[in-house]
Amino acid sequence: MVLVGGGLDDGSENVPLGQHLAAAGFAVVNYRRRGRGDSGDTAPYAVEREVDDLAAVIEAAGGRAHLFGASSGGALALEAAAAGLPVDRIAVHEVPYLVGEPMVAAWHAYVAELGDALGRGDRDEALRLFMRLAGSPDDQIAAAEAAPVWPALRELAPTLRYDAACLGDGPPPAVRLAAVGQPVLLSTGATVDPHSAGLPVDFFGAAADVAAASLPDARRLTVEVAGHVADPALLAPELAAFYRG
């Protein structure tokens, strides 16, 4: 099983989930996506290169794998499946596809402003833009800037472009998703993340429902979680049951 991280994740976010799945008997690979931690970052970037990266990880892991993708990593996992990689079952948690004209417009503005900020080397503004898009209020953004973790986030800021590319135009890509023949589990939390108070109440649920409608074999799961990163003790048993069919 290969775990695919989301935005501003250096590979550590999925470690607890991987530990739970390993304890359940799965062989787990949790890799750092390109540009994160000690992974390389050969230019120019393209989503296809990240799909190639994932193909290499799967090959090194034995040639076939289940996938789990968190947040924008879920979009990458689905792109990889649509591209024909040798994957079996795919689970994704809270892929932030954009649903509805206001959110799509906000997404397009974010992508343009993110490109401008990173183009002039302003990583702090890139992080602020991302947090605003994710629904964080100004006081939480200010608190994050003052927190010890901010320098590490600055290092990861250029990869926000990569996550944006994986999400494409914003809405669930109906044609690409229709090409995914494997069973797909789309999970979302039942509780609202306080760090995303500015998002519509059912932002992730609505996105998952629209994506599920385009997938040939989709299942939906709602879990009680305290935030965008699912509690692995709650999610891992659901994933284990899904992967075992």
pLDDT in tens, 162-210: 999 999 999 999 999 999 999 999 999 987 677 787 888 889 999 999 9
Which pair of tokens denotes residue 241? Answer: 């049951």
Residues 89, 137: one domain? no
Residues 226, 155: one domain? no
Residues 25, 88: one domain? yes
pTM for the model: 0.96
pLDDT digits (tens, 9 = 90+) for 2-48: 999 999 999 999 999 999 999 999 999 999 999 999 999 999 999 99
Residues 49, 21: one domain? yes
3-state DSSP helix/strand/coil percent for the chain, to nearest 5? 50, 10, 40
Domain end among 135, 161, 187: 161
Confidence (pLDDT) at 21 = 98
Domain end among 123, 138, 161: 161
- Residue 118 pLDDT greater than 70, yes or no: yes
Confidence (pLDDT) at 222 = 94
Number of H helices, E strands in the chain: 11, 6
CATH number, residue 38: 3.40.50.1820
Share of the chain above pLDDT 90, in %: 91
Residues 120, 179: one domain? no
Confidence (pLDDT) at 193 = 73
User: Considering its fold, how many domains does the chain have in total?
Assistant: 2
Query: Amino acid identity of 230?
Result: A
Residues 37, 146: one domain? no
Confidence (pLDDT) at 215 = 98
Residues 31, 147: one domain? no
Q: How far apart are CA 134 and CA 32, in angstroms?
A: 22
pLDDT digits (tens, 9 = 90+) for 124-155: 999 999 999 999 999 999 999 999 999 999 99
Residues 115, 86: one domain? no
Residues 85, 28: one domain? yes
Domain end among 126, 161, 196: 161
Rounded average pLDDT over 100-113: 97
* 13, 14, 48, 55, 81 from 231: Cα distances, Å: 11, 10, 31, 28, 25
Q: Is 221 helix (H, G, I), strand (E, B) or coil?
A: strand
Confidence (pLDDT) at 129 = 98
Residues 68, 84: one domain? yes
**Mean predicted lDDT score pLDDT of the chain:** 95
Residues 67, 179: one domain? yes
Residues 23, 86: one domain? yes
Residue 121 belongs to domain spanning: 101-161
Q: How far apart are CA 93 and CA 77, in angstroms?
A: 11
Which pair of tokens denotes residue 49? Answer: 């290169």
Instruction: Give all strands of the β-sheet with 65-70 in edge-to-edge order.
Output: 29-30, 2-4, 65-70, 87-93, 184-189, 218-223
